């Protein structure tokens, strides 16, 4: 395991290739992509297919950020309400919703085309814990049906026949969403991009940019890329590279644990149909069974210890496992890791163009496994002259979080306390 990566189940169960050498000296490219996650690799792959010369800079190693650490669920729709974003973009809600379905279709198509062994499995359950959730699920079921989705509304008995927990009073099953091994999928994208001609430089953090002879010059500590255009795809891990964009997202720490292999029979007793599961609380639990029959469980969030492993967070997550599945009370977490996801104020992705030369995508708010790859693809389309989809997203305006660099995290933590209390009602 690379010591720079998260101590995750994903790192232990994926085969990483040797690191690509860092950028040394100055090189030229049509496009420089900053960030080696889903967005950056997706964009680079699509640009290379169109004949563009692409150099990709990754500050650590491919998959070091959220793309290599996340819960592995690919989901239809967006994290927040899309009424206002749709109105701002001048389109109907179904247009945005269909983009989320197209994102899943793109993910599956890439897995097939590039023969990625990434443990892809269909099926997702959104689980409700109280009467209010039951009503909301019924409304969501109606909405999704109107959009042409095949979903199934399940009562308490049917839900408990699938999930071996008595916490849930209803659920909504979506066979189109699902889960995969996120790092294996990402490494498959990297292999596809490399095969298409993308030059990948790992351990090459972009730390500034200027102009030279009319070209944009993206700098690292040991070199620079001279290019006509660039893409910022660092999301929660972009730092202050472009502060005006960074102000519009908030990194939120999320934590995941994985048990030892439980065996196929015991794992199937926990989730009978193998679907991934999220509950409906604001501070939610999400979980699924891995290909080797472990329970992978996440959801503990932090606004102050971003990405840090602490004994308290690990113990808290283990208590959550036992709360949902009392029969798992004696099971330890063999792996525990954390990382940051980026949210926006409206929980809708922030995709656009900055000062003409830079394209960017950020703030997927927990729905990034499919949507970030789609964002990379539509940026590539826009660079090639087809900006129809890109323009829809770019018309949605995003505000910076209140409080500036020093106060925005405490202010968000205080706001989330309200939602934690609401979860108890």
Specify the CATH number for the domain of residue 284.
3.30.9.10
Q: Is residue 92 part of a domain?
A: no
| Residue appearing with tokens 């042409």 | 148
Q: Which of 231, 254, 215 is nearest to 337 (CA)?
A: 254
pLDDT at 114 over 90: yes
355: Cα separation from own chain's centroid? 26
Q: Which domain holds residue 366?
A: 9-70+184-247+346-414
Q: Is residue 2 part of a domain?
A: no
Same-domain check for residues 14 and 161: no
pLDDT at 5 over 60: yes
Q: Is residue 267 part of a domain?
A: yes
**Residue 417, pLDDT score:** 44
pLDDT at 381 over 50: yes
| Residue appearing with tokens 């640009």 | 47
Same-domain check for residues 157 and 265: yes
Q: At what angle do helices 368-383 and 38-49 cross, to 10 degrees?
A: 30
State the Cα–Cα distance between residues 228 and 215, nearest whole angstrom. 6
- To 5 degrees, how large is the angle CA 392–CA 396–CA 401? 150
Q: Is residue 81 part of a domain?
A: no
State the Cα–Cα distance between residues 250 and 341, nearest whole angstrom. 8
Same-domain check for residues 293 and 171: yes
pLDDT at 299 over 90: no
Domain count within the chain = 2
Q: Is residue 381 part of a domain?
A: yes
Q: How many CB atoms lie within 10 A of CB 273?
A: 15
Same-domain check for residues 276 and 321: yes
Domain boundary among 343, 371, 400: 343
Q: Is residue 362 part of a domain?
A: yes
- To 5 degrees, how large is the angle CA 253–CA 240–CA 20? 80
pTM: 0.93
Same-domain check for residues 225 and 172: no
Same-domain check for residues 231 and 300: no
Same-domain check for residues 204 and 240: yes
Over the stretch 241-277, which tens digit does the pLDDT of each residue have? 899 999 999 998 889 999 999 999 999 999 999 999 9
**Residue 414, pLDDT score:** 47
State the Cα–Cα distance between residues 370 and 374, nearest whole angstrom. 6
Summarize the confidence of residues 48-55 as an average pLDDT. 98
Domain boundary among 314, 343, 372: 343
Same-domain check for residues 354 and 241: yes
Same-domain check for residues 338 and 324: yes
State the Cα–Cα distance between residues 169 and 157, nearest whole angstrom. 8
| Residue appearing with tokens 């960074």 | 246
State the Cα–Cα distance between residues 351 and 348, nearest whole angstrom. 9
State the Cα–Cα distance between residues 74 and 367, nearest whole angstrom. 7
Over the stretch 121-174, which tens digit does the pLDDT of each residue have? 999 999 999 999 999 999 999 999 999 999 999 999 999 999 999 999 999 999
Please state, in angstroms and as integers, the Cα–Cα distance from residue 148 to each residue in 141, 144, 412, following that order. 11, 6, 36
Same-domain check for residues 235 and 310: no
State the Cα–Cα distance between residues 101 and 256, nearest whole angstrom. 26
pLDDT band at 214 (very low <50, low <70, confident <90, very high): confident
Q: Is residue 365 part of a domain?
A: yes
Q: Is residue 115 part of a domain?
A: no
**To the nearest whole number, what is the mean pLDDT of the chain?**
92
Beta-sheet strand order (sheet of 199-201): 199-201, 54-57, 31-34, 229-232, 358-362, 350-354
Tokens of 150: 């095949």
CATH number at residue 195: 3.50.50.60
pLDDT at 384 over 90: yes
């Amino acid at each position: 395991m690379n010591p720079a990566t998260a101590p995750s189940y994903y790192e232990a169960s994926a085969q990483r290739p040797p690191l690509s050498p860092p950028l040394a000296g100055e090189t030229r490219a049509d496009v420089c992509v900053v960030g080696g996650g889903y967005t950056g690799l997706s964009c680079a792959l699509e640009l290379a297919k169109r004949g563009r010369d692409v150099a990709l800079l990754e500050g650590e190693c491919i998959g070091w950020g959220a793309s290599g650490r996340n819960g592995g669920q690919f989901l239809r729709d967006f994290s927040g309400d899309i009424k206002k974003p749709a109105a701002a973009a001048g389109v109907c809600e179904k247009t945005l919703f269909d983009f989320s379905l197209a994102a899943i279709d793109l993910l599956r198509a890439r897995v097939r085309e590039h023969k990625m062994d990434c443990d892809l499995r269909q099926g997702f359950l959104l689980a409700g814990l109280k009467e209010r959730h039951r009503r909301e699920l019924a409304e969501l079921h109606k909405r999704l049906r109107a959009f042409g989705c095949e979903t199934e509304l399940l009562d308490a008995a049917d839900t408990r026949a699938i999930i071996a927990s008595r916490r849930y009073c209803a659920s909504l099953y979506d066979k189109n969403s699902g889960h995969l091994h996120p790092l294996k999928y990402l490494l498959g994208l990297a292999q596809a991009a490399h095969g298409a001609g993308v030059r990948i430089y790992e351990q090459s953090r972009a730390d500034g940019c200027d102009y030279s002879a009319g070209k944009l010059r993206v700098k690292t500590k040991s070199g620079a890329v001279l290019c006509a255009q660039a893409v910022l795809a660092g999301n929660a891990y972009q730092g202050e590279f472009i502060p005006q964009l960074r102000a519009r997202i908030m990194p939120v720490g999320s934590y995941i644990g994985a048990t030892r292999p439980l065996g196929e029979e015991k794992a199937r007793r926990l989730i009978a149909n193998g679907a991934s599961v999220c509950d409906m609380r604001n501070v939610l639990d999400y979980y699924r069974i891995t290909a080797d029959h472990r329970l992978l469980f996440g959801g503990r969030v932090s606004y102050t210890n971003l990405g840090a492993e602490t004994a308290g967070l690990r113990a808290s997550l283990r208590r959550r496992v036992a709360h949902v599945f009392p029969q798992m009370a004696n099971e330890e977490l063999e792996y525990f890791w954390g990382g940051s996801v980026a949210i926006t104020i409206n929980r809708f992705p922030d995709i656009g163009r900055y000062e003409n030369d830079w394209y960017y995508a950020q703030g997927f708010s927990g729905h990034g496994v499919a949507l970030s790859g789609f964002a990379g693809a539509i940026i590539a389309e826009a660079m090639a002259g087809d900006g129809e989809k890109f323009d829809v997203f770019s018309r949605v305006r995003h505000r910076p979080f209140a409080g500036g660099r020093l106060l925005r995290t405490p202010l968000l933590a205080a706001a989330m306390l309200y939602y934690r209390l609401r979860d108890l009602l």
